[in-house]
């Protein structure tokens, strides 16, 4: 295991993700995690993440100095490198020329980190401070035109530092550098595989649940389905899946879920029709955070009602992902939006949570799902938010607006699949802002809703880029939506990446 100490950098979670890509398990922990706790975890190595602060700032996060006496290989990235240098006797200061974006670096000594990489390479940088003097005994291994110490290392003590971000794809040999740290410096073995994930997770579920019974909130997506399969493997018939049809699903989705999991599954499925219940609660609610919390509350209350009908049901299984937890806010990561299954949960619950996917990213879940034997169509189903179409209607959620959005989204999905682009996109969906605009249809004035098309590409949903859909495809989508969906007279395209936007509008 590798522990990544989080100093609040935008790429902290990405470091953990890249380590896992190398088939080494990693976890993100607070920068001030007690040294005793770190020792107890027995990691093979430690990574100090980047961060937005200057090491000389009054509020700058620091570490217990004993961390550097543990004898564990340690890699400092950006702020982490600066902090390492300062703690071990080096000097850090502001650079005359800040580096943001791609930088050309020259390897002076390949040492351990740069083994197998060329002398000239590009790296992704984002810093205003830099190390001016390396600690005693450290070898300077790379430089750029404006930063003479862009990397250093002290192999005998296992200390390594880079002022750039090897975890970012734009760094040409980033993965090679990370692998050199993992396998050469730390002596890790690449054995964190889907089979091992499944075995370890099933064992943990059995320890947590024991002989009690659990219910799973099944939405039909890959996350909840994978969570259900893992729990079913652990506790068998003591699991009951509950599908709550809240009326916020896409076209024919409720029928697809009940057909797939009701008739063709060994897991018992309870279908709860709760459309009116949710719409009543959402009536005249426009604030997105309020919507998420209302939906999260109603989900839990509905599950509790169903659990009361099942003797000894004490646990609720959810398909919560690591990205859900991060976006809903941790101590070192600001809340971006409350996910209905994390920040949207009520404070008092009658059921204990079982979240077997809580430490996994989306693409890791898909690998596990495939290993469990899930169908390819289900494995590669695009993510769909738990609050459903409620957060894609921007404004008051009504039955009429949901139906308009449902039809428009169906047209979009149909054309995306016909164009063979479904697997290439992370997500594609329609958004309905609750506003009207003037149009002309059949020589008459119209005053109707616009539909926003949103399509993005991504690896893990932590960052995303807007998809460059062909103009011909966009034209077909626009024509079909306006011609086939009553109440719409305008179609627009969202070309915002994440950041600064999020994938969903709310």
Catalytic positions: 78, 165, 167
Beta bridge partners of 152: 140, 161
| Cα separation, 360 vs 376, whole angstroms | 19
Q: What whole-number distance in Å separates Cα of residue 21 and Cα of residue 364?
A: 9
Dihedral sign, Cα of residue 262, residue 268, residue 273, residue 277: negative
Q: How far is CA 236 from CA 211, 213, 314, 351, 379, in A?
A: 10, 10, 15, 19, 22
Virtual CA dihedral for 271, 277, 279, 280, nearest 10 degrees?
180
Question: Six-digit token pair at 216?
Answer: 């799973």
Half-sphere exposure of 430 (CA within 13 A, CB side): 32
Strand-strand pairing, 269-273 and 239-245: parallel
Q: Is the dihedral of CA 200, 205, 208, 210 positive or negative?
A: negative
Residue 468 DSSP label: -
At residue 369, the 3 state secondary structure works out as helix
Which residues are CB-neighbours of 169 under 8 A, at least 6 positions away? Answer: none
Give the residue ranges of DSSP H helices in 121-193.
174-179
Token pair in block for residue 387: 């609050």
Orientation angle between helical segments 471-484 and 399-418, nearest 10 degrees: 150
- Name residue, tokens 């204990």: 352
> Strand, coil or helix: what is 17?
helix
According to DSSP, residue 502 is labeled: -
CA distance 412 to 409: 5
Residues 6+ apart with CB under 8 A from 418: none
Report the distance separating Cα 319 and Cα 381, nearest Å. Answer: 15
Residue 495 corresponds to which tokens in the numbers above? 């070309």
485 phi/psi in degrees, rounded to 5: -110, 110
3-state secondary structure 201-268: HHHHHHHHHCCCEEEEECCCCHHHHHHHHHHHHHHHHHEEEEEEECCCCCCCHHHHHHHHHHHCCCCC
């Amino acid at each position: 295991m590798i522990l990544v100490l989080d100093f609040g950098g935008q790429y902290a979670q990405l470091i953990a993700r890249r380590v896992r890509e190398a088939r080494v398990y990693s976890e993100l922990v607070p920068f001030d995690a007690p040294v005793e706790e770190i020792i107890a975890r027995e990691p093979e190595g430690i990574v100090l993440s980047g961060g937005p602060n200057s090491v000389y700032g009054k509020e700058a996060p620091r570490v217990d100095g004993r961390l550097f006496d543990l004898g564990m290989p340690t890699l400092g990235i950006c702020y982490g490198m600066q902090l390492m240098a300062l703690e071990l006797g080096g000097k850090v200061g502001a650079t005359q020329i800040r580096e943001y974006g791609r930088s050309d670096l020259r390897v002076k000594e390949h040492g351990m980190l740069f083994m197998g990489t060329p002398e000239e390479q590009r790296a992704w940088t984002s810093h205003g401070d830099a190390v001016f003097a390396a600690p005693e005994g450290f070898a300077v291994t790379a430089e750029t035109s404006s930063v003479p110490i862009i990397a250093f290392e002290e192999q005998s003590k296992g200390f390594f530092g880079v002022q750039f971000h090897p975890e970012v794809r734009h760094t040409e040999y980033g993965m090679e550098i990370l692998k050199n740290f993992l396998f050469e410096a730390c002596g890790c073995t690449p054995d964190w595989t889907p089979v091992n994930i499944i075995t370890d997770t099933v064992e943990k579920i059995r320890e947590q649940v024991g002989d009690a019974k659990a219910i799973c909130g099944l939405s039909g997506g890959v996350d909840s389905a994978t969570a259900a399969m893992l729990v079913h493997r652990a506790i068998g018939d003591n699991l009951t899946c509950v599908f709550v049809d809240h009326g916020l699903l896409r076209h024919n989705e409720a029928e697809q879920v009940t057909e797939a999991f009701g008739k063709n599954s060994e897991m018992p499925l309870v279908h709860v029709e709760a459309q009116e219940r949710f719409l009543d609660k959402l009536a005249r609610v426009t604030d997105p955070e309020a919507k998420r919390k209302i939906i999260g509350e109603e989900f839990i209350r509905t599950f509790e009602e169903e659990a009361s009908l099942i003797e000894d049901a004490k646990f609720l299984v959810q398909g919560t992902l690591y990205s859900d937890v991060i976006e809903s806010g941790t101590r070192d990561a600001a809340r971006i939006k409350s996910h209905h299954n994390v920040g949207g949960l009520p404070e008092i619950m009658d059921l204990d949570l079982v979240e077997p996917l809580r430490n996994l990213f989306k693409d890791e879940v898909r690998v596990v799902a495939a290993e469990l034997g899930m169908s390819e169509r289900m494995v590669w189903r695009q993510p769909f938010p738990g609050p459903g179409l409620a957060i894609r209607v921007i404004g008051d959620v009504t039955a009429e607006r949901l139906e308009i959005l449902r039809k428009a989204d169906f047209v979009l999905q149909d054309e995306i699949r016909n164009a063979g682009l479904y697997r290439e996109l992370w997500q594609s969906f329609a958004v309905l802002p609750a506003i009207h605009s003037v149009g002309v249809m059949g020589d008459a004035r119209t005053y109707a809703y616009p539909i926003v098309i949103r399509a993005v590409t991504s690896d893990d949903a932590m960052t995303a880029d807007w998809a460059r859909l062909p103009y011909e495809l966009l034209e077909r989508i626009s024509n079909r939506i306006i011609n086939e969906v009553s109440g719409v007279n305008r179609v627009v395209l969202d070309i915002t990446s994440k950041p600064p936007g999020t994938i969903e509008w709310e």
